[in-house]
Structure 1
Amino acid sequence: MSEAAESGDAPTGREIWIEKYRPQTLDDVYGQEAIVERLRSYIERDELPHLLFAGPAGVGKTTSATAIARALYGDNWRGNFLELNASDERGIDVVRDRIKNFARSSFNPERGYTIIFLDEADSLTNDAQSALRRTMEEFSDKTRFILSCNYSSKIIDPIQSRCAVFRFSPLGDEAIANQTRDIAEAEGIELTDDGLDALVYAASGDMRRAINSLQAAATTGEVVDEEAVYMITATARPEDIEEMVQAAIDGEFTTARKKLETLIVDTGMAGGDIIDQLHRAVWDFDLDERTAVQLMERIGEADYRISEGANEQVQLEALLASLALSEN
């Protein structure tokens, strides 16, 4: 929980909770204990290398970077920390201009270096990454780089070899449940057990999604329960997904198709979201191994075709039809 929230100094009004409750120190980061321990040792020994944070959204990469800056520079951390989003400025000019100018002009006499944090670094072009690598070499005596990305494979090897690589995993259910429960208590929200379970399920390892969903659901009434969460997140209940798949496996294609139409039209789900939920739930279904593998194969085909621009409903109906036909 943030210092502002604990001290009561947070500004009043309708705030964005993901910022209001963003952890201020490494000790407050949920669910990444092994990574936090290693980062803390760098700070204690004052031997911070270049860092590369890789992992999905909402798992603590940006929070860890700002927490490092706060720990090193205290209240003056903003003056010693340049944050850039590479997805906004992904060309070579951002490296030659903003990054190089900050690295050249900034200096911290106490630590001997300042920090440049480059978020979504996997969006940089190869030319920009090559220029970044040269900048890292040239200013390594007074600048440390922290790069954040979803896919480390998109970062060129010369940069990876210059960084200590940390792979952030999706957050566990317990970590998400603990923070959402803490926020609900701090905000005076009545959060039911089934509502908490629904938040954890809808988040799928993404803390930002869980907190945003909690804030959105809290606006619908005095109590945040399962119904409020599934309504506000346009997420299907796991049992609805299972019933749809089971109907197809049983050869009842018309029933399965109606359930799919309910998810798309009434619940408002996108085809990609249904694919994600199907993928997450395959091994939770009571299926024999052959059928489960077959379903995974169909999910992969539908996901690829949807990502290439095919009609979502057509592809999902084809998925269900293939399951129905395979059992007949």
Structure 2
Amino acid sequence: MTSAGTPWVELYRPKSLQDVSHQSEVVATLQNAVETGRMPHLLFYGPPGSGKTSVALALCRQLWHPSDWKRRVLELNASDERGISVVREKIKNFASLAVGKPQEASFFSKKKKDEDSMDVEEKKYPNPPFKIIILDEADTVTPDAQAALRRIIEAHSKITRFILICNYVTRVIEPLASRCAKFRFQALPPASMRDRLLTIAAAEGCSEQEVSLVDEILEQADGDMRRAVTTLQSVHSLAVGSQPLSKDIISEIAGLPPVAVMDQLWKTLGADGTAATYDSMQKMVESISADGYSAKLLLSTLLTRVVVDNTLSELDKAELAIRIAEAEKCMMDGADEYLQLLTVCGHALGCFSRSAQGSARQ
């Protein structure tokens, strides 16, 4: 695939540990593994888009020569392959394969002399005598499969290293997590993300109007670099001819409800002190659902407003937060989004009604 058809997320993915932004402690520790060629099993955890998979791939690229590292690395995504059969067959077969004697870098220099640049030819690689299995989304692997994986890690640790990647480390069983060196990835700060987005925008020839929306993109991304780069590419694709771009486009691309829609929903709940009825609230929820907005994102935005509201008591805020958490859990289990959103909004309507009645008595 040419660079013109490659998603920007893949095209500008860090190729080495030095290119990784913000995760300085993790990079410094792993750089020592590159220099010595010695590495334990690793467990990367942190929020989405913080660079966990990019760091794992960059580490592998620096351990072996470009013509050799893909043979030494097996990358699996547990979101698709999470059952015990995958652990017993694909992972176990790859982990049990013997590793040949590491080839010298000079051999690759002679072999690739006509193909590679002098910088690549002269580069030294530690070529450690082991393979690496990268298991992404490891927190979605079933408990039985994690238990089977624990035994495989013990049996083949001399010739295979594991890099487990997850968002929630608490969902990885303790016997498996204790066998790995843990690295926590932090959400990227806006300053670091801004510099990277401006670099990508300059490389892709984005207009001044597109660059002016970078701050809005960073606000919507909320520390997720992958989401920020994807949104920037979508904005660049929409900027056809002289069509004006606005901040509302960023919300539409991210799937977030416009501010005007949230303001109207907030009003129908009686949050501004006006009289509100259940029928008007129900019609508003039906309209929002018909427009196709994500109920999860609506509830997340609603929770943000509830927390900073001055009219609700702390008890009401706590009850609403619990209802929103329960609704999100139900939606993850397959519940209907409209019913869950209606339930939360109905409870919020009651909380604001009680708050207004209490203020009237005073």
Shorter-normalised TM range? 0.7 to 0.9
1:170-209 → structure 2 map (5 Å cutoff): 170-190=187-207, 191-192=209-210, 195-209=213-227
For the pair 1:300 / 2:322, whether they are aligned, the reply is yes
Contact 2:320 2:344 in 1 (8 A): no
SS class of match (1:147): strand
> CA offsets, 1:14-45, max 9 Å, x none?
32111111111112222322222222223223
Aligned partner of 1:125 among 142, 146, 152: 142
| CA contact 2:134–2:163 (8 Å) conserved in 1 | yes
Deviation at 1:135, TM superposition (A): 1.0
Q: 1:218 and 2:236 equivalent?
A: yes
Does residue 34 of structure 1 match 2:37?
Answer: no
Report the equivalent of 1:324: 352
Alignment-derived partner of residue 15 in structure 2:
24
Task: Give the C-alpha shift of residue 199 in structure 1.
Answer: 1.0
1:47 and 2:38 aligned: yes
| 1:249 pairs with 2:271 | yes
Q: Quote the residue 2:117 is aligned against.
A: none
Q: State the match for 1:104 in structure 2.
A: 96
2:82 aligned counterpart, secondary structure: coil
**What are the ranges of 5 or more consecutive residues in structure 1 without an aligned counterpart?**
1-9
| SS of equivalent residue, structure 1 residue 84 | strand
Q: Distance in 2 between matches of 1:315 and 1:70?
A: 50
Counterpart code for 1:91? G
Q: How far apart, CA to CA, are the structure 1 residues paired with 2:306 and 2:202?
A: 34
TM-score by length of 2: 0.77
How far is the alpha carbon of 1:257 from its aligned partner?
Answer: 7.5
Answer whether contact 2:8 2:229 (CA < 8 A) is retained. Answer: yes
Helix, strand or coil: the match of 1:165?
strand
SS in 2 for 1:166: strand
Distance 1:318 1:181 in 2: 44
The residue that corresponds to 1:234 in the other structure is 255
Counterpart in the other structure of 2:118 = none
Between 1:227-236 and 1:113-122, the stretch displaced more is 227-236
> 1:75-132 CA distances to partner (integer Å, 9 max, x unpaired)?
0211111111122222222122111211221415341111111111122222221221
Structure 1 residue 281: deviation in Å?
Answer: 5.3
CA distance in 2, matches of 1:315, 1:217: 35
Q: Kindly name which structure, 1 or 2, has the bigger radius of gyration based on alpha carbons.
A: 2
CA distance 1:221–1:22, shift in 2 (3 Å):
same
Contact 2:299-2:341 at 8 Å conserved across structures: no
1:220–1:228 Cα contact (<8 Å) kept = no
**Corresponding residue for 1:315?**
343
Matched, 1:142 2:172: no
Q: Matches of 1:189 and 1:262 in 2, distance apart?
A: 36
Q: Using the alignment, how far apart are the partners of 1:313 and 1:199 within structure 2?
A: 26
Write out the 4+ residue segments of structure 1 that deviate beyond 6 Å after TM superposition. 254-262
After TM superposition, the structure 1 stretch with the greater mean CA deviation from structure 2, 129-138 or 305-314, is 305-314
From the superposition, tell whether residues 39 and 326 of structure 1 become closer, same or farther in structure 2 (CA, over 3 Å). farther
Deviations 1:165-197 (A, max 9, x none): 112232222233222222222111125565212
1:155 corresponds to which residue?
Answer: 172
The CA deviation at 1:323 is: 3.6
- Alignment CA distance shift 1:151-1:236 (3 Å): same
Cα RMSD (Å): 2.8
Report the AA paired with residue 276 of structure 1. S
Unaligned runs of 5+ in 2: 103-126, 357-362
The sequence identity of aligned pairs, in percent, is 34
Once the two structures are TM-superposed, the CA of residue 314 in structure 1 deviates from its matched residue by: 0.9
Query: d(CA) in 1 for partners of 2:321 and 2:248?
Result: 27
Tell me how far 1:320 sits from its aligned partner.
3.5
Instruction: Give the conservation status (yes or no) of the 8 Å contact 1:53–1:167.
Output: yes
Equivalences, count: 316
Residue identity matched to 1:295: K
